[in-house]
Amino acid sequence: RKINGVFKNREVLLSILSKYDDELVYVTGGANNIEITSKKATKGKCITALSEVTGIPLSEIAALGDTENDLSILETVGVSVAMLNADSNVKELCRFTTELDNDSDGAAKFIEKFIL
């Protein structure tokens, strides 16, 4: 389960959420958006479970991302791709960066060019 929200005061929200650091993962995206999930439910853990069920090795799986909420999956898969408009920490982590951003079909163009 995931909670998505919008906040006005980042510092106040993060101080409240810090009381639940043992149980929750919270990442901000954009200027004032937040996603809150259980530590047991990350994109990285999900793709690991899918890999086990399908028999597809993580080394053969690609993931594309642009914000902090994508870091766990990008750290887990064999081919990590940052969108052109991705946060700098996402770009630093990823092996590749798309030539186009989200609004210009960057993910689709990357997949067509390098994966299909």
Both 34 and 60 in one domain: the answer is no
Q: Are residues 83 and 104 in the same domain?
A: yes
Number of domains in the chain: 2
Between 114 and 17, the more confident residue is 114
Could you tell me if 71 and 15 lie in one domain? no
Beta-strand relationship, 33-38 and 2-6: antiparallel
Per-residue confidence (pLDDT) for residue 13, from 0 to 100: 83
**What's residue 34's pLDDT?**
83
CATH number of the domain that residue 57 is part of: 3.40.50.1000
User: In terms of domains, do 71 and 95 share one?
Assistant: yes
Q: Map tokens 């053969």 to a residue.
A: 60
| Domain that residue 7 falls in | 2-38
Domain shared by 7 and 64, yes or no: no
pLDDT in tens, 20-55: 888 888 877 666 788 888 888 889 999 999 999 999
The H helix count followed by the E strand count for the chain is 5, 6
| Same domain? 107 vs 62 | yes
End-to-end CA distance of the chain: 32
Q: Are residues 73 and 33 in the same domain?
A: no
Together in a domain, 64 and 21: no
Say whether both 73 and 57 belong to one domain: yes
pLDDT score, position 2: 78
Instruction: Kindly state whether residues 34 and 48 are assigned to the same domain.
Output: no
pLDDT digits (tens, 9 = 90+) for 73-115: 999 999 999 999 999 999 999 999 999 998 999 999 999 999 8
Burial label, 58 (beta-carbon count in 10 A; 0-12, 13-18, 19+): middle
